[in-house]
Amino acid sequence: MAKKRTGKYCREKGHTYERKIAKELNELGFDVVTSRSESKSTDDNKIDLIDLSKNLPIQIQLKKTSNIPNYFKIRSESTVDPKSFCIIWAKQESRETNMVTVGEVALIDKQMLYELLKSYANGKSDSNV
């Protein structure tokens, strides 16, 4: 029988994931902090990371769960522009003694994806000059 995870375990798992993604984005050159440490109202608005430099084109909610998050429900609970709303999801699977991440994906609005692709393509062609 699978071990039941406590609320404290799940909360700590989420906080650890927030710090991990913030660190990764900082390594990419952004100035990112967790909303828990910066702004309760932002955290309550379904945004887990704050880009202090305002260079990220997306607002990020993080999920580390077994089941795919309900993107549209979570997005509807936030007041941020739906186009810039992004969920980064770390899929969890149960192993003998613990949960493990088996993959990570980003769920974003299709129009935002197209804008990011266009920006990437334009930047790539500029660097070939």
Whether 1 maps to a domain, the answer reads no
CATH number for the domain that contains residue 39? 3.40.1350
Q: What is the pLDDT along the chain (129 residues), one digit of tens a residue?
A: 455 667 788 788 889 999 999 999 999 999 999 998 888 888 889 999 999 999 999 999 999 999 999 999 999 999 999 999 999 999 999 988 888 999 999 999 999 999 999 999 998 766 554
Q: Is residue 21 part of a domain?
A: yes
Per DSSP, 6 falls in state P
64, part of any domain: yes
Angle made by CA atoms 34, 40, 85, in degrees to the nearest 5: 60
| Spatial distance between the Cα atoms of 61 and 71, rounded to a whole number of angstroms | 10
Those residues whose C-beta lies under 8 Å from the C-beta of residue 62, and which sit 6 or more positions away, are 14, 17, 18, 21, 48, 49, 87, 88, 89, 90
Q: Which helix (H) or strand (E) holds 88?
A: strand 85-94
Q: Is residue 2, in this structure, part of any structural domain at all?
A: no
104 inside domain? yes
Q: Which domain holds residue 35?
A: 7-127
Domain count, the chain: 1
